[in-house]
């Protein structure tokens, strides 16, 4: 049975600057809390109840220098294996991360650039040689993932967040569903009854979860899965960054409550840090947020493994933009 989809245009959104607000870039961007009065207390308590990673970063001697400007890089990891991670996030050897993104927040807080890293990217994992990117978590836990990503972007990771895909469902339902412009019709391999037609579709929580998980239905597998994850996040952001959401304390509180149980952050990712970043990003709108994928040269084989080949020449350009806080220029050129 094919699930029904509701086709209709979302209501027009007013785009006002909002002084006091919570900005929640779903499970896969920046979670930053800014509120006043009783809601500030409630949100702070909810956010600080998230699980913390005590051992988050590699040895200081192995890391790039801190940025001279005020830009920040936030590492986001998504996984279908929260049950494994929740037992002890500091001992996750044997677990592989399904989704990896780096969120670059500009020094002026006027742009956010999100780079997806293909999980099968063939990269150097310090101390282990070349392997698929998602093996870093298995080999050495969160610190080794950070060290590997810092080597790829040649810049420092400032904060870390790990989100279980199950959190997508709660966010989507809290928003009353999300509209996505689906580029390819497909049937989910996770939920056989879920068929997603091409064009504008409205997803509820369970439909969204299957949408972002899918890769087997596509000829290019993870490439389309990454594109669909980016499409979904853009759609969520469009709803969250609307004036209707930002000025509604109840919806804000519900959003934080819906994602908190599925969120794990480093010990420095506190509610006060999130609130401060939220205030600094108060004028961000969708036009200021861009998504791209770390440059690749398609797929290939390493022994009996199918891998994604990194475009090292183009990655060198990306690295320079990370260092110079000019990723928006790379987006414009692309």
Q: What's the 3-state SS for 102-150?
A: EEEECCCCCCEEEEEECCCEEEEECCCEEEECCHHHHHHHHHHHHHHHH
| Greater model confidence, 279 or 189 | 189
Q: How many domains does the chain have?
A: 1
Query: Considering the domain boundaries, does residue 224 fall inside one?
Result: yes
Query: Considering the domain boundaries, does residue 6 fall inside one?
Result: no
Instruction: Please give the residue range of the domain that contains residue 230.
Output: 23-333
Query: What average pLDDT does this structure show over 236-264?
Result: 75
Q: How many CB atoms lie within 10 A of CB 267?
A: 12
Of 301, 285, 256, give the one whose Cα is nearest residue 26.
Answer: 256
Query: Considering the domain boundaries, does residue 7 fall inside one?
Result: no
The upper half-sphere exposure of residue 220, i.e. CA atoms within 13 Å in the direction of its Cβ, equals 11
Q: Measuring CA to CA, how many Å separate 29 from each of 75, 105, 114, 116, 316?
A: 9, 10, 8, 11, 24
Contact 35, 279 (CB under 8 A): no
Query: Considering the domain boundaries, does residue 16 fall inside one?
Result: no
Helix intervals (H) in the chain: 37-48, 82-87, 135-153, 166-174, 205-213, 222-240, 243-246, 249-259, 271-280, 312-324, 327-333
Q: What is the pLDDT of residues 179-207, one digit of tens each?
A: 999 999 999 998 877 999 999 999 998 99
Query: What average pLDDT does this structure show over 91-112?
Result: 77
Looking at every residue in the chain, the average pLDDT score rounds to 79
- Phi then psi for residue 220, to 5 deg, are -105, 20
What CATH number corresponds to the domain at position 76? 3.40.630.190
Q: Which of 84-93, 220-229, 273-282 has the highest mean pLDDT?
A: 220-229
Rounded to an integer, what is the distance from CA 254 to the centroid of its chain?
20
Q: Measuring CA to CA, how many Å separate 183 from each of 10, 186, 199, 204, 295?
A: 19, 10, 6, 18, 21
Of 114, 116, 80, give the one whose Cα is nearest residue 97.
Answer: 80
Query: Considering the domain boundaries, does residue 298 fall inside one?
Result: yes
| Confidence band for 311, pLDDT divided at 50, 70 and 90 | very high
Query: Considering the domain boundaries, does residue 115 fall inside one?
Result: yes
DSSP 74-102: EEEEEES-HHHHHH-TT--TT---SEEEE
Rounded CA gap, 185 and 217, in Å?
Answer: 9
Q: What percent of the chain has pLDDT over 90?
A: 42
> Is pLDDT above 90 for 63?
yes
Rounded to an integer, what is the distance from CA 14 to the centroid of its chain?
26
Q: Measuring CA to CA, how many Å separate 147 from each of 22, 60, 153, 162?
A: 30, 10, 10, 16
Query: What average pLDDT does this structure show over 208-225?
Result: 90
Query: Considering the domain boundaries, does residue 259 fall inside one?
Result: yes
In the three-class reduction of DSSP (H, G, I as helix; E, B as strand; rest coil), residue 325 is classed as: coil
Backbone dihedral region for residue 280 (phi beyond 0: left; psi -120 to 50: alpha; all else: beta):
alpha
Q: Residue 295 has what pLDDT?
A: 96
Q: Measuring CA to CA, how many Å separate 192 from each of 37, 211, 217, 259?
A: 46, 12, 11, 26
Query: Considering the domain boundaries, does residue 278 fall inside one?
Result: yes
């Amino acid at each position: 049975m094919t699930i029904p989809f509701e086709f209709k245009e979302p209501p027009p959104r007013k785009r006002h600057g909002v002084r006091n607000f919570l900005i929640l870039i779903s499970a896969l961007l920046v979670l930053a809390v800014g509120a006043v009065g009783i809601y500030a207390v409630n949100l702070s308590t909810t956010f600080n109840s998230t699980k913390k990673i005590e051992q988050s970063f590699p040895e200081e001697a192995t890391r790039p220098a801190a940025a001279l400007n005020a830009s920040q890089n936030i590492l986001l990891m998504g996984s279908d294996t929260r049950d494994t991670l929740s037992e002890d996030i500091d001992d996750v050897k044997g677990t592989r991360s399904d989704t990896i993104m780096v969120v670059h927040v500009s020094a002026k807080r006027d742009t956010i650039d999100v780079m997806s890293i293909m999980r099968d990217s063939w990269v150097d994992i310090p101390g282990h040689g070349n392997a698929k990117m998602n093996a870093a978590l298995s080999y050495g836990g969160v610190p080794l993932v950070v060290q590997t990503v810092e080597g790829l972007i040649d810049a420092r990771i400032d904060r870390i967040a790990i989100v279980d895909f199950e959190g997508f469902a709660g966010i989507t339902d809290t928003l009353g569903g999300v509209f996505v412009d689906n580029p390819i019709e497909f049937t989910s391999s996770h939920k056989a009854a879920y068929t997603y037609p091409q064009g504008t579709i409205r997803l509820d929580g369970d439909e969204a979860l299957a949408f972002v998980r899918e890769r087997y239905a596509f000829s290019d597998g993870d490439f389309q899965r990454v594109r669909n994850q980016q499409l979904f996040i853009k759609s969520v952001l469009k709803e969250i960054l609307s004036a209707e959401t930002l000025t509604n304390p109840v919806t804000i509180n519900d959003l934080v409550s819906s994602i908190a149980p599925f969120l794990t952050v480093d010990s420095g990712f506190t509610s006060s840090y999130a609130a401060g970043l939220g205030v600094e990003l108060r004028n961000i709108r969708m036009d200021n947020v861009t998504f791209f994928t770390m440059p690749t040269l398609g797929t290939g084989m390493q022994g009996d493994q199918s891998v994604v080949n990194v475009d090292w020449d183009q990655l060198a350009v990306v690295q320079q933009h990370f260092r110079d806080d000019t990723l928006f220029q790379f987006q414009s050129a692309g």
